């Protein structure tokens, strides 16, 4: 390991040196604990009796060799602080951990699996000029073997369950909520203890590799949530690791997050190297196709509050990490969950940006959902909530998210957010999704949204798949499947997402009618999207040049989708006054120029 690089926060491979590593002569254990007065290794191989570790290199690292240790065995570090008090800790660089509430690390042979996805890896793309349709999943609650909260399918079992479903429904990428080890199910993985340990809830590191490999061989990319901002407070984890604030801030004013977890101290080079190495670990060892960085706003600003100013050390960390990861993995996707207006999140680092590929467009999400919550008689006053996104859109490369955060904690699911009673929510949801998929930007949809789930997501329960037994939900599922297929099959909806020539308003001043119309371009085709978000049927003159011919690609009001079946002509031709179309209440239509 490059020790100078480790201390200065420049390396991405600290996990190849620190942790437990299999060698011919046994297993070598190494841990970084500069504040410790003594460190002992305890584990299955020595009857959990203390095995003294020696100071090595500059005296901040501790090491020992155990000749009878092997894969699958449990171990911990017993770390004594300067006062002589001790605490048992899991390995910060451990490749596996016990299932909670137990906390031992597990020795893993990371070289035991051979991937068969070379074709996928050779052709992989960051999708800037391709469709990127992401299905966000919580691994433990997509489906469950039983009604028990702690009963889960394994990584290998989920390959046979999840991959066929995702392919059938028209998604080409998965985004999986954090798979690093975490002690509390309710944290969903966002408060981690094992940053190099795939959670044992679903199996082993080898099992996760097999899952990703299977996804790739079926043409599905895999993005994983990664948390570079904070970690769990549990005493066996990173907190007060060697009797000092080694990974966290010593000052609680900035050291404790809004979730009660410990904030990483990004001004320390050792912490930067730890996090950069963890990010590289998931991309390298598991062939993940990208990382969605959680809570980036809490790194950009102190405690996520712009009023407290920019955390310049954390910003520099993000820049250096992203630049290094893109150098090592040019086709991997790096996405930022950032709700702030901080400039240049997706701008290249040499140009002063943070170097992400995509930024979640939280403004679009909030404005659009607020609009659809509003009673139709008040939508005219809020008309430009749906046009505002294109005023700032080209400032960053945006991704349009409808994530798990929009389906929990009393916020209601996407379908429930639609105004009105049960039956009236479905046509609005169909029109809403057609607006989303025609709008520039890559797409993300959380599991259950595609069947019109009504119950808020609960990590203890599987999704309500029985809903598709009801005709209205089955029809909505069919609609989403067709919409996704159309999105994947028509380059006009994705190829020029981030070019000004890829989008043009045809009409964004029908405030009283709540009608919108715009064009999308790409791949030699033009798609026109028209929306009526009012509660009444309306006649509308689509402003097109004489002789312009259009063919309907998708109509949200088709009876097979649960609509009334009253649809306009399949082929239109404009005259001097444009193309006359009849728009049903709460409807949307895509036309292809022919």
With respect to residue 146, please indicate whether it lies within any of the assigned structural domains: no
* 112-135 exposure pattern, b = at least 16 Cβ within 10 A, e = fewer: ebeeebeebeeebebbbbebbbbb
Beta-carbon-side half-sphere exposure of residue 93 (alpha carbons within 13 Å): 26
Given this model, what pLDDT does residue 567 score?
83
Given this model, what pLDDT does residue 66 score?
97
Average pLDDT for the chain: 96
- 181 vs 164: CA distance, rounded Å: 27
Cα dihedral across residues 14, 20, 22, 26: positive or negative: positive
Given this model, what pLDDT does residue 297 score?
96
- Is the pLDDT confidence value at 236 over 90? yes
- For the chain, percent of residues with pLDDT exceeding 90: 95
What's the mean pLDDT in 59-68?
A: 97
Please write the tens of the pLDDT for every residue from 181-216. Answer: 999 999 999 999 999 999 999 999 999 999 999 999
- Place 299 in a pLDDT band, splitting at 50, 70 and 90: very high
What's the mean pLDDT in 553-576?
A: 90
Pair 295, 337: CB distance under 8 Å: yes
* pTM of the shown model: 0.96
- For the chain, percent of residues with pLDDT exceeding 70: 100
With respect to residue 402, please indicate whether it lies within any of the assigned structural domains: no
Given this model, what pLDDT does residue 238 score?
97
Enumerate the β-bridge partners of residue 339: none
With respect to residue 68, please indicate whether it lies within any of the assigned structural domains: no
> Which one of the listed residues 289, 337, 338, 495 is annotated catalytic?
337
- Is the pLDDT confidence value at 566 over 90? no
With respect to residue 413, please indicate whether it lies within any of the assigned structural domains: no
Cα dihedral across residues 369, 141, 219, 280: positive or negative: positive
| Torsion-angle region of 173 (φ positive above 0: left; ψ -120 to 50: alpha; else: beta) | beta
With respect to residue 50, please indicate whether it lies within any of the assigned structural domains: no
Given this model, what pLDDT does residue 139 score?
97
Considering only 199-208, 291-300, 340-349, 569-578, which range has the smallest mean pLDDT? 569-578
For the chain, the farthest-separated pair of C-alpha atoms sits apart, in whole angstroms, at 89
Please write the tens of the pLDDT for every residue from 505-531. Answer: 999 999 999 999 999 999 999 999 999
Beta-carbon-side half-sphere exposure of residue 58 (alpha carbons within 13 Å): 11
- Is the pLDDT confidence value at 2 over 90? yes
Q: What range defines the domain where residue 553 resides?
A: 500-593
Please write the tens of the pLDDT for every residue from 13-51. Answer: 999 999 999 999 999 999 999 999 999 999 999 999 999
With respect to residue 521, please indicate whether it lies within any of the assigned structural domains: yes
Q: What is the CATH number of the domain that holds 544?
A: 2.60.40.1180
Token couple for 127? 């999708």
Given this model, what pLDDT does residue 252 score?
85
With respect to residue 189, please indicate whether it lies within any of the assigned structural domains: no
337 carries an active-site annotation? yes
- Is the pLDDT confidence value at 547 over 90? no
> Which one of the listed residues 136, 289, 294, 519 is annotated catalytic?
294
- Place 564 in a pLDDT band, splitting at 50, 70 and 90: confident
- Place 569 in a pLDDT band, splitting at 50, 70 and 90: confident
- Place 54 in a pLDDT band, splitting at 50, 70 and 90: very high
Given this model, what pLDDT does residue 513 score?
97
- Is the pLDDT confidence value at 565 over 90? no
Given this model, what pLDDT does residue 316 score?
98
With respect to residue 582, please indicate whether it lies within any of the assigned structural domains: yes
Query: Domains in the chain: how many in total?
Result: 1
Please write the tens of the pLDDT for every residue from 423-474. Answer: 999 999 999 999 999 999 999 999 999 999 999 999 999 999 999 999 999 9
Given this model, what pLDDT does residue 173 score?
98
294 carries an active-site annotation? yes
Please write the tens of the pLDDT for every residue from 323-360. Answer: 999 999 999 999 999 999 999 999 999 999 999 999 99
What's the mean pLDDT in 365-386?
A: 97
Please write the tens of the pLDDT for every residue from 237-246. Answer: 999 999 999 9
Given this model, what pLDDT does residue 181 score?
97
- 326 vs 323: CA distance, rounded Å: 5
What's the mean pLDDT in 263-275?
A: 97
- Is the pLDDT confidence value at 568 over 90? no
- 204 vs 154: CA distance, rounded Å: 9
């Amino acid at each position: 390991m490059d020790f100078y690089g480790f201390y200065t926060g420049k390396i991405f491979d600290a996990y190849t040196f620190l942790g437990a590593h299999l060698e011919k002569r046994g297993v070598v254990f190494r841990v970084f604990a500069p504040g410790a007065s003594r460190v002992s290794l305890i584990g299955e191989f020595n009857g959990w009796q203390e095995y003294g570790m020696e100071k090595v290199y500059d005296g901040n690292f501790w090491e020992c060799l155990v000749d009878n240790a092997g894969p699958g065995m449990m171990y911990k570090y017993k770390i004594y602080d300067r006062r002589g008090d001790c605490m048992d800790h899991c390995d910060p660089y451990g490749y596996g951990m016990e299932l909670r509430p137990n906390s031992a690390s597990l020795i893993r042979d990371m070289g035991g699996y051979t991937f068969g996805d070379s074709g996928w890896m050779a052709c992989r793309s960051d999708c800037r000029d391709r469709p990127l349709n992401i299905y966000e999943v919580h691994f433990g609650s997509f489906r469950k073997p039983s009604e028990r909260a702690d009963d889960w399918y394994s990584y290998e079992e989920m390959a046979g369950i999840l991959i066929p479903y995702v392919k059938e429904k028209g998604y080409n990428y998965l985004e999986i909520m954090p798979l690093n080890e975490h002690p509390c199910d309710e944290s969903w993985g966002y408060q981690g203890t094992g940053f190099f340990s795939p959670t044992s809830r679903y199996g082993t590191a080898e099992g996760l590799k097999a899952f990703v490999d299977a996804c790739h061989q079926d043409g599905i990319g895999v993005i994983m949530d990664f948390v570079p901002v904070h970690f769990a407070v549990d005493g066996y984890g990173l907190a007060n690791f060697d009797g000092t604030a080694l990974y966290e801030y010593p000052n609680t004013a900035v050291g404790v997050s809004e979730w009660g977890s410990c904030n990483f101290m990004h001004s320390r080079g050792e912490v930067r190297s730890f996090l950069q190495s963890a990010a590289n670990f998931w991309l390298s060892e598991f062939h993940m196709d990208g990382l969605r960085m959680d809570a980036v706003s809490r790194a950009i600003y102190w405690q996520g509050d712009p009023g407290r100013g920019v955390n310049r050390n954390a910003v520099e960390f993000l820049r250096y990490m992203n630049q290094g990861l893109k150098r090592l993995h040019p086709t991997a996707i790096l996405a930022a969950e950032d709700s702030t207006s901080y400039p240049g999140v997706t701008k290249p680092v040499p140009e002063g940006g943070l170097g992400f590929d995509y930024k979640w467009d939280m403004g679009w999400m909030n404005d659009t959902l607020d609009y659809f919550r509003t009673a139709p008689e008040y939508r005219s006053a809020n008309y430009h909530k749906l046009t505002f996104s294109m005023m700032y859109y080209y400032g960053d490369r945006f991704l349009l998210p409808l994530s798990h955060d929009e389906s929990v904690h009393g916020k209601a699911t996407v379908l429930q957010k639609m105004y009105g009673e049960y039956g009236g929510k479905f046509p609005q949801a169909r029109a809403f999704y057609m607006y989303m998929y025609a709008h520039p930007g890559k797409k993300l949809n959380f599991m259950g949204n595609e069947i019109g789930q009504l119950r808020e997501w609960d990590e203890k329960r599987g999704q309500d798949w029985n809903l598709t037994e009801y005709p209205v939900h089955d029809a909505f599922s069919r609609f989403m499947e067709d919409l996704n297929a159309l999105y994947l099959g028509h380059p006009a909806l994705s190829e020029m997402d981030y070019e000004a020539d890829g989008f043009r308003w045809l009409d964004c001043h029908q405030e009283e009618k709540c009608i919108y119309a715009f064009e999308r371009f790409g791949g030699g085709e033009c798609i026109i999207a028209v929306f009526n978000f009012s509660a009444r049927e309306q006649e509308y003159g689509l402003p097109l040049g004489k002789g312009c011919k259009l063919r309907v690609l998708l109509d949200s009001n088709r009876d097979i989708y649960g609509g009334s079946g009253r649809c306009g002509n399949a082929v239109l031709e404009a005259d001097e006054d444009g193309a006359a179309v009849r728009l049903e209440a709460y409807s949307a239509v895509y036309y292809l120029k022919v």
